[in-house]
């Protein structure tokens, strides 16, 4: 999309520079969405529009087009975090696995099918279908009910501290934080373990 629409020319920026700004903006908008402070439609196009504006390129029409095109293309991309399949193969026979996602409902099943992940999970809980997002306590209570589990039996593995980890801890679950930083939060927070690679799960679960 970046090259097709000559963003390097209009924004006077390389792809790497553009994606760094986009990822920061996208992360903040997802945070606001999880807190119900912006609507889904705003998130869909504002992440692109705000990125354009950062580079002094005002093209709202293209931002809306990218919002549509991105959701058509991205669910079919199949790159996974290193070790994902190996870890899932290890966990599937030891634990009952479920997903809670704040992602858009129209693409989540496509993503899981494209990556051949769906057979690993019993419940796929899409927050949009239930009216509340992580970290809302209600989505964790719903997950307990659907999984027919009690909170002391539940462990959340997530890479977003605010939505995944804080939400799980508030629900009195254990939590495993897949972090991209070396700062160790588990030293000061009860029921929290921090890892930096998925493969570590095979040594602690």
CATH number of the domain at 35, please.
1.10.150.240
Q: Each residue of 42-54: b (16+ CB within 10 Å) or e?
A: ebbbbbbbbbbbb
Confidence of residue 197 (pLDDT cuts 50, 70, 90): very high
95, 140: one domain: yes
38, 96: one domain: no
182, 98: one domain: yes
118, 199: one domain: yes
- Of 58, 76, 94, which marks where a domain is finished? 76
Please state, in angstroms and rounded to a whole number, the distance separating the CA atoms of residues 3 and 15: 8
40, 98: one domain: no
- The pairing of strands 123-126 and 155-158 is unpaired
19, 89: one domain: no
Nearest residue to 141 via CA among 119, 115, 168? 168
User: 196 — phi, psi (to 5°)?
Assistant: -115, -5
Residue 100 covered by a domain: yes
Domains of the chain: total: 2
Residue 148 covered by a domain: yes
Q: Each residue of 77-97: b (16+ CB within 10 Å) or e?
A: eeeeeeeeeebbeebeeeeee
Please state, in angstroms and rounded to a whole number, the distance separating the CA atoms of residues 111 and 118: 9
Residue 33 class from Cβ within 10 Å (0-12 exposed, 13-18 middle, 19+ buried)? buried
pLDDT digits (tens, 9 = 90+) for 1-50: 999 999 999 999 999 999 999 999 999 999 999 999 999 999 999 999 99
pLDDT digits (tens, 9 = 90+) for 73-116: 999 999 999 999 999 999 999 999 999 999 999 999 999 999 99
Could you list the residue range(s) of the whole structural domain that residue 11 is in?
7-76
- Predicted pLDDT at 189: 85
- Predicted pLDDT at 181: 72
183, pLDDT greater than 80: no
58, 15: one domain: yes
Q: In Å, what is the CA distance from 57 to each residue of 34, 49, 52, 67, 116?
A: 28, 9, 5, 16, 38
Residue 1 covered by a domain: no
Please state, in angstroms and rounded to a whole number, the distance separating the CA atoms of residues 178 and 115: 20
123, 46: one domain: no
64, 135: one domain: no
Mean pLDDT on 157-171? 96
């Amino acid at each position: 999309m970046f090259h097709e629409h000559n963003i390097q020319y209009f924004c006077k920026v390389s792809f790497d520079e553009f994606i760094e700004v986009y990822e920061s903006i996208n992360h903040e908008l997802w945070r606001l969405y999880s807190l119900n402070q912006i609507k889904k439609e705003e998130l869909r196009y504002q992440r692109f529009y705000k990125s354009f504006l950062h580079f002094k390129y005002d093209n709202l029409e293209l931002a809306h087009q990218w919002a549509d095109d991105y959701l058509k293309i991205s669910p079919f991309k199949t790159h996974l975090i290193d070790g994902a399949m190996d870890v899932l193969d290890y966990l599937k026979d030891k634990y009952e696995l479920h997903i809670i996602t704040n992602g858009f409902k129209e693409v989540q099943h496509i993503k899981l099918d494209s990556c051949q992940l769906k057979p690993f999970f019993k419940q796929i809980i899409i927050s949009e279908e239930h009216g509340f997002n992580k970290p809302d306590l209600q989505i964790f209570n719903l997950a307990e009910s659907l999984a027919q589990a009690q909170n002391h039996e539940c462990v959340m593995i997530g890479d977003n501290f605010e939505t995944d980890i804080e939400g799980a801890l508030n629900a009195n679950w254990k939590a495993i934080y897949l972090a991209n930083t070396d700062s160790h939060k588990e030293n000061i927070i009860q029921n929290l373990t921090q890892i930096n690679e998925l493969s570590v799960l095979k040594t602690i679960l």
